[in-house]
Amino acid sequence: MITVKVRVGEALEKSLRTLKKKLDKEGIMKTVKAKRFYDKPSVREKNKQKQALKYRKKSR
């Protein structure tokens, strides 16, 4: 579980930014967005192949 301690006198906005950065780093928001709707297994497989192709092109 991700926690962010808010220090005395620290702006709330700064703490929220820190929380968002930690969520991004852990990939939690990406997972939540992916599970928001049901994808058929065939659609999931196509997306997985697309990502693999994108990754292979990027690594060259």
User: Which DSSP state fits 38?
Assistant: -
Alpha carbon 52 to chain centroid distance? 18
Q: How buried is 23 (Cβ within 10 angstroms: 0-12 exposed, 13-18 middle, 19+ buried)?
A: middle
Nearest to 17 by CA among 33, 6, 31: 6
pLDDT digits (tens, 9 = 90+) for 17-52: 999 999 999 999 889 988 899 999 999 999 999 999
Q: What is the pTM assigned to this prediction?
A: 0.59
